[in-house]
Structure 1
Amino acid sequence: MREQLNSKNRKKRKWLWITLSILGVLLIGISAYVYSIYSSVEQAASQMYEQPTREVSEKRIEKVEYTEKDPISILIMGVDERTGDIGRSDTMIVITVNPTTQSMKMVSIPRDTRTEMVGKGTQDKINHAYAFGGTDMAVATVENFLDIPIDHYIKVNMESFQEIVDAVGGVTVTNPFSFTEAGYTFQEGEITLNGAQALAYSRMRYKDPRGDFGRQDRQKQIILGIIQKGASFSSINKFDDVLTILGGNVKTDLSFDQMVDIQANYKEARHSLEQLQIKGSGEKINGIYYYTVPEDEQVKLSTTLREHLELK
């Protein structure tokens, strides 16, 4: 009887040891996988990072503290850069994030918006600021136009849209009307696009009755499609492909540590996103088309954003 009990105990210990061994191997494998992702992300962030030319915006009294959950603002620029040309920031989107109210506000600035070029002293289209003075002038000009600090920027080479879309296996969007662009025909309704098609789809402007606003919506559709596909990656190889593309086509003054802090302290704000529209009208000045925003509309928009950033 005692021998039978000892035999049963030995079998239990044996299976316990086997189970623990399997769990240990799984944990080691998971840890290695997580580390490889972390390492890849850190390497990509290092490639994207640009040393900021200023410590803090002139429109701020104190530097933002991420651990204190201070509201922040980020300028996203879609830059159409070509060989031998610095390019223009064809897409300019400002996002303000308030982790206390767990909310975000997003405003797309029409590329033809007429405003002062800070550092040049002339009035011109806002997307020309990048061509005149690079990232610094673009950031300063947007700050002056909206009267808010821009704490960070993310600059995306629009050509990378094509590579990223192909890397995630294409994206699905809902097209509001049929049109032809760059040799591609886009039917009305839900369509799936490869990289080259997505780039053409996001760039079309003149055939859209909403002009720049319609193009901005299509660009947002592509970005959302990439995010949705990215959330369902089935292999680390695909993940690495996307990180490699991002590392070579995205530039930002956000360091890896700052990205980690923002992810930890600001992520819940993504659940409440309000899109603001800049109201104005088109007009020609000396034969050149501009989008003119009335002063009272600028003040109204600025007030909304400043309140969201908790600025006095």
Structure 2
Amino acid sequence: MRTYQKVVVSILSAMVVMIAIVTGYGMKVLSDANKAVDTISQQVDRETKKREVAVSFGNKDPFSILLLGIDTGALGRSDHGRSDSMMVVTVNPEKKQTTIVSLDRDILSDMLDGVTFDKLNHAYAYGDVELAMDVVEKLVDVPIDHYVMMNMQGLRDLIDAVGGIQVNNKIDFTLEKVHVPAGKITLDGKTGLAYARMRKEDPEGDIGRQRRQREVITKIVDKLLSLDSVSNYQKILKAVEKNSRTDLVWNEMLDIVTNYYPAFENIEQAQLEGQGEQINGIYYQILGVNELLKVQNLLKEQLEIPTNEELEIDPQFEYSFNGFIGNQFYDDRDYSSVESVEETFYAQ
């Protein structure tokens, strides 16, 4: 696989961008922001299977968004691409909290055709945003209500538009002739993109990269939510308009401005992490049943959905053909409190 195919870039929710802009400038920029939203708005031909009643922003319902970072728009990439950065975001106005959970692009995932299991980031390549939302929804077992997608150039432009972000970089590295020194530094768009993409020199590999991606998002959000950052609102709107799309519409964003704004000031982060396995010579992340259940319940708590005591396995994959539980997971449960390891997942 060529280097540019390995690009993983974090993204910022265009919704948060609009909230920050409108909050900072009020009526002054309503017209410009409205036009930008019209440009990036693109509906999806799907509905969540996890809700009987759709989310109401007017009623302040907790909701979720799938953030997709697409590996196109920079470094010579102009094809359809893959969603090489995927994050599930939940927003709870009552708790005044936002939660960001990073999903590894290599997670072995059900592609929902009854046969295919592949890397999570391939869902976007197979079936665009609709399939990506459905596959993630099945994986984390919570409704995916909306999506926001941004490409690499969008991240770079946003960092420049807010005047850069400050980080404490732990690793001195050079990526594709872009040097990022260690220490407390201010990143511009070029170095910020490299900071979000670097993997090989990080001892934690992709996990470390995903941690830096979440850091970049929160740093940009902090700048956007400050009065000084929105002084460049036209640059911010341009960055979003050129490089993003979402199924949120203008009236929904205005409701979010009114009802959810404090939740974006308290951002919690988490990582869905498995173990690496080579299958037919291809690397995958295999999730443990306990690890996945823990993350599922974290998201459910934020969305005020009943949690589960056991991971639910699709009945059609109850009898595995590849040695994994449900064709997809490994057993990371603690058996110290049970009489016999023979009390298997299938007997529960």
In structure 2, relative to structure 1, the CA distance for the partners of 1:228 and 1:266 (3 Å cut) is: closer
Distance 2:279 2:108 in 1: 10
CA distance in 1, matches of 2:214, 2:63: 21
1:277 aligns with 2:271: yes
Indicate the residue corresponding to 1:251 in structure 2: 245
Between the aligned partners of 1:176 and 1:306, the Cα distance in structure 2 is 33
- Per the alignment, residue 14 of structure 2 pairs with none
Tell me, yes or no, if structure 1 residue 301 matches structure 2 residue 295.
yes
Residue 50 (structure 1) aligned to one of 42, 45, 50: 42
Once the two structures are superposed, the pairs formed by residues 1-312 of structure 1 within 5 Å of their partners are 34-54=26-46, 56-81=47-72, 83=77, 85-119=79-113, 121-230=115-224, 231-233=226-228, 238-312=232-306
TM-score (norm 2): 0.74
Q: CA deviation at 1:235?
A: 7.8
**In 1, Cα distance between equivalents of 2:291 and 2:282:** 22
- Whichever residue aligns with residue 106 of structure 2, its letter is D
1:58 is paired with a residue whose SS is coil
> 2:114 & 2:193 partners in 1: Cα distance?
32
Q: What are the ranges of 5 or more consecutive residues in structure 2 without an aligned counterpart? A: 1-24, 307-348
% same residue: 41
Task: Report the Cα offset of residue 120 of structure 1.
Answer: 7.0
Q: Is this contact kept in 2: 1:80–1:159, CA < 8 A? A: no
Highest CA radius of gyration, 1 or 2? 1
Aligned residues: 278
Deviation at 1:98, TM superposition (A): 1.8
Gaps of 5+ in 1: 1-32
Report the more deviating stretch, 299-308 or 195-204.
299-308
Q: Is the 8 A contact 2:43 2:247 kept in 1?
A: yes
Pairwise CA RMSD of aligned residues?
Answer: 2.0
What is the distance in 1 between the residues matched to 2:135 and 2:98? 22
Deviation at 1:234, TM superposition (A): 7.2
- Contact kept? 1:233, 1:239, Cα under 8 Å: no
Provide, for residues 268-302 of structure 1, a one-character-per-residue CA deviation record: whole Å limited to 9, x for no partner.
Answer: 22344332222321111111111110123222321
Return the offset for 1:72. Answer: 0.6
8 Å Cα contact 1:111/1:212 also seen in 2: no
Amino acid at match of 1:310: E
TM-score w.r.t. the length of structure 1 is 0.82
Gap change, CA 1:78 and 1:36, over 3 Å in 2: same
User: Would the aligned equivalents of 2:90 and 2:99 in 1 still touch at CA under 8 Å?
Assistant: yes
